[in-house]
Structures are given as C-alpha cells and as structure tokens.
Amino acid sequence: MKGFLDLADLGREGVLDLLRLAERLRRSPEPTALAGRVLGLLFFNPSLRTLSSMQVAMTRLGGTSFVITPGTGSWQLESRDGVVMNGAAAEHVREAIPVLASYCDALGVRAFADGRDLARDLAEPAISQIESLCHVPLINLESAVNHPCQALADWRTLDDLGVPRNGKLVLSWVNHPRALPLAVPAAVAHMAALRGMEVVVLRPDGFALPPAIMEKARQAAALAGGRVAETADRDAAISGAHVVYAKEWGLTAPYGDAEADGRARAGLTNWTLRESWFRRAQPDCRLMHCLPVRRNLAVADEVLDGPRSVVIQQAHNRLTVQVAVLHRLLAGTDPQD
C-alpha cells in the first residue's frame, strides 16, 4: 500500500484485509512496530477525532508525530500554480509538502473542499496536488469529496454491530446552519455499497449527491452485490433500514451558492433526525454519524442519547482502523534518511 487516499484504491478484498489487520493489532498490539517512525500531520481545517486519534495511533505502534496547522503557528500556504504570491500566504505547497515529507515517514493531510465549483471539488485538486509533491506515503484525513479513514472505521463499526452485509443503510441529509462538504456522504455511500449493502440516499430536493459520486457508489455496488438508490421520500427510505447514517451537506443544485443554499434550508427545519423517523425501520436500527454533530439541529438529543446511537463507537474505531493503516503503510519498510 503506497498511500491511503481512497477506499476504492484497495478494492473490497483490500478493505477486508485491512480490517482483519486492525482486529489482529487490537488483539495483539505491536507497541514497537513503528519505533523511530514519524507521521507528519498537516491540517488545513479543524479537527478533534482525526487530530487526536492519528497521534494516538502512532503512539500505539511506538512511533511519533508532529502537527502543522497553516495560519496557526505556521505560515498560510498557497496552492495555486503560477500565482504571484503577494497576498497573505507566505509559502507555497510546492515547497511545504516536499519539506514536510522530508521530515517524516508518512504524511497525513486534511484539506476540505472549496465548495464553490463542483467539477473542481470532484477533481480533488488539493490532495492530488499534494500527492504529486509528496514522496512518502500520503494519508487522506478528509479531502474535498473523500474521507477514507472515516469510511474504514464505519465499515468496522457495521461489522462490530453485526449489521448484515446486505443490510439496508439510509444515508440521510440532516439540517445544519450552512453548506458542508460532500466528503463524508460520498465516502459513506461508496463504503456501504462496497460492503454489499442496500444504500438509499435520502435528501430533500436540490441536495441530490452529484452524479459522479452516485456513479462511483453504484460501481462499487455492482462489484459487491449491493444497490444504490436515492429519494426524497423519508418513510419509504427508512422502511426496513438497519442503519440510518445522518449527515449534513450543502445544496448541490446549484452548488456553491450560499444564498440559494440558505433559502433552501430555511424550508427544511423538519430535517432534524428524531426518534419518530425510525417507526418503519428495523427495531434495532442504528444511528450513525461521523461527528461533530449539532444536537437538536442535525440530530435530536432523544436519538443521540438513546440506544440507537453508535456515534462514539464509530469515533473509537477511527483509532482502531488507523493503527492498521499506519502499520500497513510503514511496518517493515526502511525509515527515512
């Protein structure tokens, strides 16, 4: 494994293999496997789970890490090619990435979507540019339209819970004060499809996931025996569901228009996920969410505090699976000069 950028790069067998490694390392920890190895962590955007769990994952394997946050203690970074750098950014990623990579054995990067141009965001310009500049294994800590660490942790959580491989997962849009990126919905739809599940994307009009994201999930489903559908009909969607995965994202038609997005969500105040949503679901239907979650706006207290919620377990599995990702990338290789 040369990097960890997209679950799709591994294929279904590759994911299952990584999950087996995660379980093996949980049962039989290897506290010196990455002794002397260093993980660089570059955060262009805020983080709680990823920031802490990646550091702890290295610790679990005997390695260390450092954190760089452009604009907070470190220079703001430019990414546009050919630009005359007379603005706020003091450094270009064309220097910053090779330099940071030269100090570490693997580099993790979080770089959210711009959220203005859909075609551009779908092309993953930031993480692709960084990959081209990085000579050590690169780990995607959430990019414009992907979040493979989250997806891998969620797969493990579904396994932990005994959710059938071909069970029904509803990825439901929920409310939020403003447009959020498509990274988690895209990653979760693909992951569940690759697991072989029946995936239903439930969202209001205007919030359909872009065709490229749906198509990627459908291709995964085709390989794994799953199905992918979308609808705005809540009751039909959740009927018989084993899991409702709640997630906030922005208006997609049109994409990147904050004003239109605000108008659209003003009429969607009934998209706070409540216990009543589950009446046609499987009795033990679970609530999943990647966190952070805005209580009583995205998901009601009654659901988050009730027995359906597995959000803490999902977050803990971030650590469990990332230990495996780091082990697979770095164990047994030669350290950096």
Whole-number Å distance between alpha carbons of 295 and 297 = 5
Q: Whole-number minimum distance, CB 66 to a second copy, in Å?
A: 4
Q: Which of 158, 251, 315, 326 binds a second copy (CB under 8 A)?
A: 315
Could you say whether residue 334 binds a second copy (CB under 8 A)?
A: no
Q: Whole-number minimum distance, CB 25 to a second copy, in Å?
A: 11
Q: Which of 22, 96, 145, 200 binds a second copy (CB under 8 A)?
A: 96
Per-residue x/- track, 157-186, a second copy (CB under 8 A): --------------------x---------
Could you say whether residue 263 binds a second copy (CB under 8 A)?
A: no
Could you say whether residue 91 binds a second copy (CB under 8 A)?
A: yes
337: Cβ–Cβ under 8 A, 6 or more apart, which residues?
none
Could you say whether residue 93 binds a second copy (CB under 8 A)?
A: no
**324 near 19, Cβ under 8 Å?**
yes
Q: Which of 18, 19, 104, 183 binds a second copy (CB under 8 A)?
A: 104
Q: Which of 7, 34, 100, 213 binds a second copy (CB under 8 A)?
A: 100
User: Between residues 12 and 274, which has the closer beta carbon with respect to a second copy?
Assistant: 274
Using the rule CB under 8 A, give the single segment among 66-74, 112-120, 209-217, 221-229 that binds a second copy: 66-74
User: Between residues 296 and 333, which has the closer beta carbon with respect to a second copy?
Assistant: 296
Could you say whether residue 56 binds a second copy (CB under 8 A)?
A: yes
Find the binding residues for a second copy in span 272-311 (CB under 8 A).
291-298, 301, 304-305, 311
Q: Which of 1, 11, 64, 114 binds a second copy (CB under 8 A)?
A: 64
Q: Which of 13, 28, 84, 276 binds a second copy (CB under 8 A)?
A: 84
Tokens representing 11? 């294929």
Q: Which of 5, 10, 34, 43 binds a second copy (CB under 8 A)?
A: 43
Whole-number Å distance between alpha carbons of 302 and 273 = 9
**88 near 76, Cβ under 8 Å?**
yes
User: Between residues 160 and 230, which has the closer beta carbon with respect to a second copy?
Assistant: 160
Using the rule CB under 8 A, give the single segment among 34-42, 164-172, 211-219, 250-258 that binds a second copy: 34-42
CA end-to-end span of the chain, whole Å?
Answer: 20
Q: Give the binding site for a second copy (CB under 8 A).
A: 26, 29, 31, 35-36, 38, 40, 43, 46-49, 51-53, 55-56, 59-60, 64, 66-69, 72-75, 78, 81-86, 90-92, 94-96, 98-100, 102-104, 177, 291-298, 301, 304-305, 311-312, 315-316, 319, 337
